[in-house]
Chains A and B, each alone.
Chain A
Amino acid sequence: MKILVALKQVPDTETKIKVAAEGKSLDPADVKWITSPYDEYALEEALRLKEAKGAEVVAVSVGGEKAKDILRNALALGADQAVLVKATETGDPLAVARILATFAEGKGFDLLLFGNKGFGADNGAVGSMVAELLGLAQANLVTKLELGEGTFRAEREGDGGTEVIEGSLPAVITAQRGLNEPRYASLKGIMAAKKKPIEEVDGAIVTATVRVSSMVLPPARLEGRKLDGEVPAQAAALLGLLKNEAKVL
């Protein structure tokens, strides 16, 4: 079995976001970069499948030179191969999907694993788009995955409860928290990864379909008031304010 795991490099989740001087993108100063948290579940699932059934795991990231860090980490965790598909970040999910689909096409992947969204553009779209471009089945926000002979069964979080999806392989699966518990890299893995190559290929040239024209921080919320008095009085005052002042009850 051959598995592609798509990884995105994103700012650490504790990062305080600042907007760059041009007013359209993130100010990268002081940002600590990590593998997008949901992508870690995707990689872990691939590694578990490799251990259970035998598989070749190819970690791929679309990005620039610094994305090699997360690819190196994927090798340390147990990926067999790491590929940097060189392209400039545009915030256009279809552009990224086209680049990934062009890369994956004809390479015989049985499973393409993604995080359900990357922290950043937050569209949660690239996995589904790759599935459509390659004509594959998909299951998003997956918390449980079982593979059969050329088939899969996945559980995903839907609005009405857990949905059980069955489909054919090859398929695109996007991982949700709960799918597994990602491992940490061992010292041995980290040392071995330093010697492994990271392949570099040029990303396909694609036309942008969307463009960010400005980025702003959300309006600051004004600090409200703290309620005084004994507990029963505070409780009564709060409900009174919610009903009569805020008018939300």
Chain B
Amino acid sequence: MILVFCELQDGKIRKPSLEALSEARRLADGSGKQVGAIFAGGSVAGAEEAAAYGADVILKAEGPSLAAYSSDGYARLLADAVKAKGASVLLAAATSAGKDVAPRVAARLGAGYAADVTGLAMKDGKLQVQRPVYAGKAFATVDFESAIQVATTRPNVFPVAQCPKAGASEGLAAGAADFKAVVKEILAKAGGKVDLTEADIIVSGGRGMKEGANFKILEELAEALGGVVGASRAAVDAGWGIPHSMQVGQTGKVVSPTLYIACGISGAIQHVAGMSSSKVIVAINKDPEAPIFKLANYGIVGDLFEVLPELIKAAKALKG
């Protein structure tokens, strides 16, 4: 069996989890395996949706002890489920929770682990993955040698595919809350915006934005296009009050949106490492020699403060 750790948000399965589930189904079909979707939480209402995306079995661990996320608690639960089901592969989306728990599960099971994979296959009965290394400056093919294999799938890379299966429901014991560490509270970010790593459209600003207040122009464009705002390291380091959580690049977030609009970003190697796998890149920069144009599908050479208002106008007209 291939087990997939799935996350719920507002009673729906998160998109990165659906991507992992769809990929598990594809792998299972090619190797005669079953797919199990596993959910954990205070409530797992909405887990049944997994049947539509290829889950033969839906494992539900539900109870007050799981209401708050615990790395060690969730790791024990997932590792026990892998053993109970005799699963050979455990997948999770490379979300903040997935990347937090999956390495612990792997260590508990003595399993090999690969994070942020962008390609998956079964080779000689074991998982073989492609994944970015050196912050996306190279890609490695990784072969597993352990009996159990654990991997996290990079958001926005794999397609979500509907594939209705039985989705037989099974309960798992939630267990006692004797955890070593738990999340006590979440200080939610403003507006409930999606994380950069999951966003379809990112409008990013660099040193060329000149000051932090000008990022509201990017917010406006992002809003008109249905995207979120990112920043280069130069912008984050400039002391404009832009948080590091918005930074795209080697020492920030590695993203692969459908559309990446780089505004006033020169294209330093450190930034490019974090966004070069975007499907379509647009660069707006006043310097025609800026390296960012070398990888942009479309470029506009010009003054940001003239170009952006026109783009906002055009975007509103298009979407309106």
5 chain-A/chain-B pairs, Cβ below 8 angstroms: A140-B100, A209-B106, A215-B141, A216-B138, A248-B201
Whether B112 pairs with A94 at a CB distance below 8 angstroms is yes
Whether B185 pairs with A137 at a CB distance below 8 angstroms is no
Nearest neighbor of B71 in chain A, beta-carbon distance:
A138
Nearest neighbor of A139 in chain B, beta-carbon distance:
B181
Whether B113 pairs with A165 at a CB distance below 8 angstroms is no
Whether B186 pairs with A160 at a CB distance below 8 angstroms is yes
Bound Cα distance from A30 to B197, whole angstroms: 32
**Contacting residues, chain A, for B279 (C-beta < 8 A):** 246, 248
**Contacting residues, chain B, for A234 (C-beta < 8 A):** 300, 302, 307, 310
B182 contacts A by Cβ under 8 Å? yes
B99 contacts A by Cβ under 8 Å? yes
Nearest neighbor of A36 in chain B, beta-carbon distance:
B251
B198 contacts A by Cβ under 8 Å? yes
Whether B184 pairs with A166 at a CB distance below 8 angstroms is yes
Whether A211 pairs with B106 at a CB distance below 8 angstroms is no
Q: A136-B180, A165-B183, A171-B181 are in contact. Are A119 and B250 (CB under 8 A)?
A: yes
Q: Which listed residue, A17, A92, A218, A231, touches B307 by the CB 8 Å rule?
A: A231
**Contacting residues, chain A, for B288 (C-beta < 8 A):** 226
**Contacting residues, chain A, for B97 (C-beta < 8 A):** 158-159
Residues of B59-104 at the interface with A, using a CB-CB cut-off of 8 Å, are: 69, 71-72, 75, 95-97, 99-104
Q: How far is the CB of B234 from chain A (nearest CB, A)?
A: 13
Binding site for B on A (CB under 8 A): 11, 13-17, 19, 26, 37-38, 91-94, 97, 119-126, 128-133, 135-141, 143, 155-168, 171, 176-178, 207-218, 221, 223-227, 231-232, 234-236, 238-239, 241-243, 246, 248-249
- The segment from B23-31, B36-44, B142-150 found at the interface with A is B142-150
**Contacting residues, chain A, for B281 (C-beta < 8 A):** 221, 224
B189 contacts A by Cβ under 8 Å? yes
Whether B185 pairs with A164 at a CB distance below 8 angstroms is yes
**Contacting residues, chain A, for B108 (C-beta < 8 A):** 132
Whether B187 pairs with A162 at a CB distance below 8 angstroms is yes
Whether A226 pairs with B300 at a CB distance below 8 angstroms is yes
Counting contact residues on chain B (CB < 8 A from A), the size range is 35 or more
Closest 8 CB pairs of A and B: A167-B181, A209-B112, A125-B103, A137-B180, A235-B310, A137-B181, A132-B107, A224-B297
Bound Cα distance from A125 to B259, whole angstroms: 29
Bound Cα distance from A183 to B116, whole angstroms: 31
Whether B186 pairs with A158 at a CB distance below 8 angstroms is yes
Whether B299 pairs with A242 at a CB distance below 8 angstroms is no
Nearest neighbor of B260 in chain A, beta-carbon distance:
A248
**Contacting residues, chain A, for B140 (C-beta < 8 A):** 91, 212, 214-215
Bound Cα distance from A221 to B267, whole angstroms: 13
Whether A165 pairs with B181 at a CB distance below 8 angstroms is yes
Whether B189 pairs with A223 at a CB distance below 8 angstroms is no
Decide if the interface of chain A is mainly helix, strand, loop or mixed: mixed
Whether B107 pairs with A122 at a CB distance below 8 angstroms is no
B217 contacts A by Cβ under 8 Å? no
Whether B142 pairs with A242 at a CB distance below 8 angstroms is no
Whether B139 pairs with A216 at a CB distance below 8 angstroms is yes
**Contacting residues, chain B, for A236 (C-beta < 8 A):** 310, 314
Nearest neighbor of A125 in chain B, beta-carbon distance:
B103
Whether A11 pairs with B146 at a CB distance below 8 angstroms is no
Bound Cα distance from A236 to B293, whole angstroms: 19
B110 contacts A by Cβ under 8 Å? yes
Q: A94-B110, A221-B281 are in contact. List 12 more A-B contacts (CB 8 A).
A: A13-B251, A122-B131, A123-B115, A128-B107, A163-B69, A164-B185, A167-B180, A211-B142, A226-B298, A235-B313, A242-B259, A242-B282
- The segment from B46-54, B158-166, B269-277 found at the interface with A is B269-277
B262 contacts A by Cβ under 8 Å? no
Q: A131-B72, A248-B259 are in contact. Are A162 and B186 (CB under 8 A)?
A: yes
B8 contacts A by Cβ under 8 Å? no
B133 contacts A by Cβ under 8 Å? yes
